[in-house]
Structure 1
Amino acid sequence: MPGHGQPHAAGVDPERLWLDRPEPRRGRRPSFSREAITAAAVAVADAEGLEAVTMRRVASEVGAGVMSLYSYAPDKETLLELMVDHVSGELPLTELLTGDWRADLKALAHLQRAHMLRHPWLPATLSTRRSPGPRTLAFLERALTALRPSGLDGATRLEVFAQLTGFVAGHVSYELAQAGAARSPERAEAEARYLAAVAADGHHPELAEALASAGRPTAPEDTFSRFLGRLVDGLDSA
């Protein structure tokens, strides 16, 4: 196992990133900071997508040379870690918990959904392993506190929150894809015709019955709440 501050075998070293303090720089103090670099990267990702975030682009946003950024973020992977933790600071931590752990967990999930919709690049970054920074840990602590009345042990509470976050990220990715498809009416109409043909071919009776049944509320918030309820209400507190 690598020692504190030593390079990791692969990926970002969380000790170096989150625990080490940057060494004082000699010479003239730079006009930017790690926080400013991260904020600039987040702004680019929010406006243009994660693909637009490059070290060169971020350097131009803060008015610096590319090489001067590397002491703050040596690669894009590190920059992504910083970005995820930076936006985690937007998640509110002051709302009072009710003691009803299922209701509180659902409320936290709704906060996560709104957060990910504000930052559409976020669900994709969460699909790979990330090292939680201080802001992310603050929200995690909040979630674990909300789950304490469930009677679940600490390890299970961690698993539950990981499962919840994965569900929210997956659902938001689906919402974003659906919103993109809605901007192409021709594609939506073609998909509807295709499903109607499949339902009528006699080989998919279960699908035909499902498609013919009464429609559900289609508002994104309603759909999310319905799926979330199935997930949270199905958790076993024993």
Structure 2
Amino acid sequence: MTEKPRSIWLRSERSGRGPVPEYGRTQIASAAIEIADESGLEAVSTRKVAARIGASATSLYRYVSSRDELLELMLDTSCATLDLTAPLIGDWRRDLIELAEQLRGLYRRHRWLLDLAQGQPSLTPNVVLLMERALAAMAPLDVPGGTKLEAFAIMNGIVASVTRLEISSGQSNQAWQKAQVEFLASAVSDGEHPHLSAAFASPAVEGDADMLHRVLPRVLAGVLGID
């Protein structure tokens, strides 16, 4: 007996025998994405997705065998909205920053993706296209492929972290931020934390105020060993 492929992407749209599939993976993923956008990733279940598309929970297992596969479908469908076909500029820093900006926009539109980014990454068709785009941007660099893949993973991690920080530091957290600044100012005023005091007294960073634009190129240059 032939073993069923472990990856959903190596199987047909609907497993088993029977009529032509009544639902498609994109339809199932879109319903799950709607639920996640409304109520968070924890709210996503096979039962709720089935109800959203007017199917039974049992019938949905003909298309996805587990919740993990459902999450893969959601990730892939979300990444399909990225524009990965425009011509590259030819400057690896600018090309990766442009890609990072697209990722940040994707994380902002679907905040539950930040939770997926914390776990073990899944490879889906559109994630593979995303990786190919990043590697194409780094193609002119004489750097081992494994190092380039590490750079891509680090880039994604930085984008996710920066986006999460931007979201958490919204208007609702202004009082909390003010309290932290006031406490830090008090803590460094006693003279017992000279290095922290010097850092706190330093002028603001000049140039681009966007943290992603400031930090990402320097980190990637270090990972890739580029001056």
Normalising by the smaller structure, the TM-score range is 0.7 to 0.9
Unmatched runs of 5 consecutive residues or more in structure 1: 7-12
* Structure 2 counterpart of 1:204: 193
CA distance in 2, matches of 1:64, 1:185: 44
Where in structure 2 are the equivalents of 1:43-82 lying within 5 Å? Answer: 43-82=34-73
What code does the residue aligned with 1:86 have? T
* Structure 2 counterpart of 1:94: 85
CA distance in 1, matches of 2:202, 2:136: 41
Structure 1 pair 184/172, CA: closer, same or farther in 2 (3 Å)?
A: closer
CA shift for structure 1 position 131: 2.8
Match status 1:110 vs 2:109: no
What code does the residue aligned with 2:214 have? R
CA contact (8 A) 1:85 1:136 kept: yes
CA distance in 2, matches of 1:130, 1:36: 23
* Structure 1 counterpart of 2:210: 222
Q: Equivalent of 2:130, from 122, 139, 145?
A: 139
CA shift for structure 1 position 25: 4.6
CA shift for structure 1 position 146: 1.2
CA contact (8 A) 1:200 1:208 kept: yes
Partner secondary structure for residue 210 of structure 2: helix
What code does the residue aligned with 2:10 have? L
Unmatched runs of 5 consecutive residues or more in structure 2: none
1:165-206 Cα distance to aligned partner (Å, 9 max, x none) = 111112212222212xx3144323322222222222333222
CA shift for structure 1 position 80: 1.0
1:28-58 Cα distance to aligned partner (Å, 9 max, x none) = 853x322211111111112221122122221
Match status 1:40 vs 2:31: yes
Q: Root-mean-square deviation (CA), in Å? A: 2.5
CA contact (8 A) 1:106 1:232 kept: no
CA shift for structure 1 position 4: 5.7
Tell me how many residue pairs correspond in the alignment. 224
CA distance in 2, matches of 1:197, 1:70: 58
TM-score by length of 2: 0.87
CA distance in 1, matches of 2:39, 2:18: 35
Percent sequence identity is 36
CA shift for structure 1 position 62: 0.9
CA contact (8 A) 1:152 1:237 kept: no
